[in-house]
Structure 1
């Protein structure tokens, strides 16, 4: 009875539903280095009552700071990766099941909301188990999910909202923002979006557009994974193959695969070409891993089901498949066994989301595009290409010329370049998951973007 009264008391102080409040008495049991309240439960939209979106929410002590909705990609990958590997308040030490405090957590300057979406991902579920969806359906359902959050936590309705994420969230985020601005009745205070190494244009999402992955090969050539001779040969045939997939280009593609010898993902981490490739024995307690499919250079052409190649999932699997930890997070029996990535019957729009940017920019939505500069999956070369194309098509002036920016120790953190309505930031020595690889740089980047603080110049 005393415990129930405590939950009600904490809920009164912090807001939010008492049933979703995570039991602080168990923090020590799970060795969680955190001393604040957080929530874990389900967002259940009235419009799609058979959908149950699992969320984790870390409120900030300051009530008036922005809410950040964080989404991981896939499609089919869990946002708990973001919460427990990247920018949550406690994260796993790399390659271990041990939590440590994250001094660069984004929860230090915002209310952080992580949602596993679409249903069928992580602990999110649908009553009939049918996970068939598409880009448009997912966007609409995510909009309903967001409204369900505000019904559950009405005290945050007036706060600015930023939607952030990486990888296929480059599709989730603009399509969700588009749904918000299309609804004339919406009272959501959408302020901006932050997308890292995200699928935006055919230059990055070559498989969906059936294009030759020129910018991926350009990236590999820049990092000496391809010989100068083959690189020169690719450049000669750039115009012929850049936006084409005829037989000659397919043959050239196979020549590149043969020379680079990147078929064995045990020795090559495509998500960070200079990073660790975690081996099967340390991947999960069961030693599970997922190989690449035939297209070694497509970020989303993996045999979905558990773990993208080389990624660190040791701590995630150790805890999120533990029955006691599930209970700690208020996970229902209807939720499946947790997996980092799940296979979904998912239909993608081959246009990706490039076509939405003019509309979003016209509404004054702030846009941050950030890119880990050693990601071989959604490489910086393709991102810069489409931003330059957008600037030219919309005749947008340059606000800041390309320049370096710095971390607190005055070490170079990357580069930035700003056009009217869009800030591009590269993060040095970061791969596909920037906040996991470079936590301090990611913290400075997100904080300064949201609060309009100039990026350090030395």
Structure 2
């Protein structure tokens, strides 16, 4: 009888604390290196009808005692697997989807990383009813439910690890709205420590109000057009001008501001200094995100059709991720059901049926500050879609005081090397840091992978941002 009791207890222990064997990826097609960590791919229950696909990469070293990070891409409507393969994940793809090579600056050198595809209809995630229409608050609830499933059903052994929520772009809405729910649930998330958001869309009004001076001071706008907007529409004060309200109307000023924001069309809006030609197609993630941000703004922005697609050579293969993830052997390795459709980086259907609820996430940030959570908001400084001035102004108006070390502009350095200025740091009370990444665009872990790894490592370990990463 005693042996039976011991056996039952042992089975229950293994069931409660073992990672899901069915989700373990045992062989990754195309990998040209030996993968030194475990990784899992499967589904999390977001609601009775919604199943969110996740790909979980354990840490390179000591995963049992390393923090857990959730990563969310934005859009709305873009897949976090794009973030995995093209930005901060350990697996990067080349050779037209035939080769997987190791990213030496992957964030799972810092901790265990969950890449979750949200909302339903994005990537391999789905709703059994086929309905992909959703909104900010429903997505926050679905993301919360999926995380509860992750920590209670799939990986309970990680429940007591430190936990962080990270993301970029429309993650500026996804992350804080989810974080408020997580912060309120100490039972399922006993060691939730904070959030890190790159180039987030925190305020639609501030985003458009900061665009005009940003365009002008980056040399994109001819002087007479800028002067005309200043005198006719802004009473001579372009810095305090409410361009968002102007754009929301149908006046001559609306036409002028639209014209001003249509300058530099042949440049990459996500990185003004990029030397890579764009493909400009509707399937391009880079084109998609800007269209979705403009769509969600509710403004009637008149964009001339871009001419960059015709006759311009691509400097990089643009569809490696999509080609790779739709290979039959890759889908089988990732345990994707046969009835789940073709994977795309971003979903037009999800994006256009998405309902924006939060124009400004100041209440969510203040809630997180009051809960003593640590907040990092970082920005590549040559992105025009969710620009650094938007976030600098947003953070400044949250009511926190500058820390003494931020009274003057403070540089941070890559590997503490002078003059390798990686960007600038502003620290506030309330555990709130604003950091720029010099010369990076919208996708910081892609544009500046070394600096991004150093940034996230030092944030999590509460070290000076300039210190070299010891991994």
Shorter chain as normaliser: what TM range? 0.7 to 0.9
Q: Do the aligned partners of 2:41 and 2:335 also contact (CA within 8 Å) in 1? A: yes
Partner Cα distance (1:457, 1:231) in 2: 42
- Aligned with 1:230 (options 221, 225, 228): 225
Once the two structures are TM-superposed, the CA of residue 457 in structure 1 deviates from its matched residue by: 7.9
| Equivalent residue runs for 1:141-220 within 5 Å | 141-150=142-151, 151-183=153-185, 185-205=187-207, 213-220=208-215
Deviations 1:135-172 (A, max 9, x none): 00100111000001012100000011100010001100
Once the two structures are TM-superposed, the CA of residue 92 in structure 1 deviates from its matched residue by: 3.3
Aligned to 2:130: 129
- Aligned with 2:423 (options 399, 409, 414): 414
Q: Do the aligned partners of 1:58 and 1:107 also contact (CA within 8 Å) in 2? A: yes
Q: Do the aligned partners of 2:96 and 2:323 also contact (CA within 8 Å) in 1? A: no
Partner Cα distance (2:146, 2:160) in 1: 17
Aligned to 1:398: 403
Q: Which runs of 5+ in 1 are unaligned?
A: 1-10, 206-212, 304-308
Q: Does 1:363 align with 2:371?
A: yes
Aligned to 1:105: 106
Once the two structures are TM-superposed, the CA of residue 91 in structure 1 deviates from its matched residue by: 1.7
Aligned to 2:91: 90
- Aligned with 1:251 (options 255, 258, 264): 255
Q: Do the aligned partners of 1:203 and 1:383 also contact (CA within 8 Å) in 2? A: no
Partner Cα distance (2:283, 2:359) in 1: 34
SS at match of 2:411: strand
Once the two structures are TM-superposed, the CA of residue 277 in structure 1 deviates from its matched residue by: 4.5
CA distance 1:70–1:215, change in 2 (3 Å): same
Once the two structures are TM-superposed, the CA of residue 90 in structure 1 deviates from its matched residue by: 2.2
SS at match of 1:199: coil
CA distance 1:445–1:127, change in 2 (3 Å): same
- Aligned with 1:18 (options 15, 18, 21): 21
Deviations 1:98-125 (A, max 9, x none): 4331111110120011000011100001
CA distance 1:159–1:184, change in 2 (3 Å): closer
Once the two structures are TM-superposed, the CA of residue 348 in structure 1 deviates from its matched residue by: 0.4
- Per the normalisation by structure 2, the TM-score is 0.81
Partner Cα distance (1:95, 1:398) in 2: 49
- Per the normalisation by structure 1, the TM-score is 0.83
Partner Cα distance (1:110, 1:268) in 2: 36
Q: Do the aligned partners of 1:273 and 1:374 also contact (CA within 8 Å) in 2? A: yes
Partner Cα distance (1:253, 1:318) in 2: 39
| Equivalent residue runs for 1:317-332 within 5 Å | 317-332=322-337
Q: Do the aligned partners of 1:404 and 1:457 also contact (CA within 8 Å) in 2? A: no
SS at match of 2:42: strand
| Equivalent residue runs for 1:381-396 within 5 Å | 381-390=389-398, 394-396=399-401
CA distance 1:406–1:442, change in 2 (3 Å): same
Q: Do the aligned partners of 2:243 and 2:257 also contact (CA within 8 Å) in 1? A: no
Q: Do the aligned partners of 1:22 and 1:328 also contact (CA within 8 Å) in 2? A: yes
